[in-house]
Structure 1
Amino acid sequence: MTSYQAVLSEHGHWIGWDATSGHALVTGQTGSGKSASLYDLLCIASHDPQTQVVGIDPSGVTGAPFARVHPRDWVVGGADIGVQAIELLEAVVAEMDRRTRALGRMDLDKLPDHLLGRKLFAIRVVLEEYTALLSAVSRKQKDEITTLVGRILREGRKARINVLTVVQRPEAAVLHDRGQYQDLFLHLLENRTSVEMVLNDADEEVVKMLTTLSPGEGGYKRIGPKPIARFRSPLMEFSEYSARVKNFLRTPPFRK
């Protein structure tokens, strides 16, 4: 497990997010604090010696520290972002299929922990500004991207290949296969419709909380019966985030 755990609940307990397991969603309005939470989670992933981090970032900012270390594993903006994004996602899906076939031969339904960390790693696929990505590509590329991401969301967990999606506003067209997300990091949401897009059974108290959060505050929900927990990620300047990622990216590149 990682030695970096900076996502803190309101009761002073660490939220034990595992970079090696489960799809995660970070969402919230501009200025709500989702970037601070994302930096936290990416620091956790970069400190984890069992996890390779790959991703797509249309702005080229969040992914830049990773891209400087493993440039082939990150798509960071550019006119041909659609082509590059599809190539990366196709490589991830091919690896997912290879692992799934191997699991079948070993009579396993999930890649176990003890096989991670030497030559085989969990893969965390970061979709930063996913809405912006789908808006920047052609319709055909959008269909290809959503098909590939959908396959990873539905089939990736058993192969220890998990998505970390970041969106400003939860929308059905963007959060396809949204029932597959295991960990939700929710910052200020616009209204009840936005809340129900990520929490189908949200009661009035939860809706009120998520639509009145202060900047930097969030609500964390893990799949299952446990209630939503308030949290606050510590404010981290980009320079600090960048240094942490560069210094602690311990795993080899996914694509050589």
Structure 2
Amino acid sequence: MDKLTLRMAPGQTLADVTKACPALASTLTAHSGTARDGGRPRWVVLDVLRRDPLTAERTSTDPARLPATGPVVLGVDEYGEDFTLDPYTTPHAAMQGATRSGKSSTCYTFLGALAYRLDVVVTGVDPSGILLDPFTHGRGAGYIATGTRPEDLDRAVSVLRYLVSLMDDRVRDLLAQQRYKLDTYTPAVPAVWVVLEEYPGLLATARALDADRGSKAGQKIAPALEAAVGRLVKEGAKVGVLVLVLAQRMSAEAIKTDDRMNLGLRATLRVDNGDAVGMLHDGLDRHAIEQVRSFAPGVALAEAPGTGL
């Protein structure tokens, strides 16, 4: 990246230079340019990218060299800087993407890094059993449900209810210690990631089973799953019980609006339905939404608290 310091003409503002960035990049035969405040009146800094950093592949870190703590590098942003997910401070996450969009590879990168950490435990519900199978032999094995048989869905409810109970116990401990939130994690008190693989499909299967069983209101599985997930995303972040919701398409039926508001990190790889993009990313125009539908595998829209889209 090249950095150019420019002096604006009288009457110009940073907004004027920002609007002119595509033309400036073209003049400089560069991929793109971004303007920012230069720290002095009438001066701006133009960050110029000579090539598109998203066109190159990024090799995942050798597991033996993965950091034992701190953020996990998922990829690079449009400026060539690391895009990370902090497994201790991220207030829940959501990721959507169609088949062969790169969603599974991204999840493997994240979960593979967590597998080496003693202060993180991976739990959750995985109807296919593929994503979470490696963790069924780890410390969180007792709190992982896989499969779509009736007994598997009953276990999914039990697992999520246990995680809610764990969250409640931690909240009570905080109150007893007169603390606002957990900010340090150890092998004894680890951060707990609750992975919900293909969550909309899980709910659809549960609703079908409820119908087949003729379950009464208090016995239905789907509402029990939704209630547990709702409590986790509303209350879990401050005590280190963090949720990762995965879906091919985050429809309106996938997760309730109030719960979606608590998903701090949101990523959308290629999806075939433009409405799904708007479910996670507010305020995008139609052109931007159409671009997402043609993303190459591994390219995503992503936003997190403090970083924007």
What's the TM-score once normalised by structure 1's chain length? 0.81
Where does residue 142 of structure 1 map in the other structure? 222
Offset at residue 54 of structure 1 (A): 0.3
Give unmatched runs, 5+ long, in structure 2. 1-68, 211-219
Where does residue 152 of structure 2 map in the other structure? 81
1:15 alignment partner, SS class: strand
Where does residue 123 of structure 1 map in the other structure? 192
Higher RCO, 1 or 2 (CA under 8 Å, sep at least 6)? 1
1:167-246 equivalences under 5 Å are 167-176=247-256, 177-204=259-286, 206-224=288-306, 226-228=307-309
Give the letter for the 1:222 counterpart.
A
Find out whether 1:106 has 2:188 as its counterpart: no
Offset at residue 55 of structure 1 (A): 1.4
Give the letter for the 2:93 counterpart.
A
Give the letter for the 2:109 counterpart.
D
Where does residue 133 of structure 2 map in the other structure? 64
2:265 alignment partner, SS class: strand
Where does residue 24 of structure 1 map in the other structure? 93
- Structure 1 CA distance for aligned equivalents of residues 77 and 152 of structure 2: 37
Structure 1 residues 130-156: Cα deviation after superposition (integer angstroms, max 9, x where no partner): 122112223410000000000001010
Q: CA RMSD in A?
A: 1.8
Offset at residue 207 of structure 1 (A): 2.0
Q: How many residues align?
A: 225
Find out whether 1:93 has 2:164 as its counterpart: yes
Task: Check conservation: 2:136, 2:144, Cα contact below 8 A.
Answer: yes
- Structure 1 CA distance for aligned equivalents of residues 148 and 279 of structure 2: 31
- Structure 2 CA distance for aligned equivalents of residues 6 and 48 of structure 1: 16
Find out whether 1:160 has 2:230 as its counterpart: no
Name which of structure 1's ranges 91-100 and 135-144 shifts more when overlaid on structure 2. 135-144
- Structure 2 CA distance for aligned equivalents of residues 14 and 160 of structure 1: 24
- Structure 2 CA distance for aligned equivalents of residues 4 and 156 of structure 1: 20
- Structure 2 CA distance for aligned equivalents of residues 158 and 67 of structure 1: 26
Give the letter for the 1:46 counterpart.
A
Find out whether 1:9 has 2:77 as its counterpart: yes
Task: Check conservation: 1:51, 1:124, Cα contact below 8 A.
Answer: yes
Sort the Cα spacing of 1:158 and 1:104 in 2 relative to 1 into closer, same or farther, 3 A: same
- Structure 2 CA distance for aligned equivalents of residues 2 and 43 of structure 1: 14
Name which of structure 1's ranges 98-107 and 162-171 shifts more when overlaid on structure 2. 98-107
Task: Check conservation: 1:23, 1:180, Cα contact below 8 A.
Answer: yes
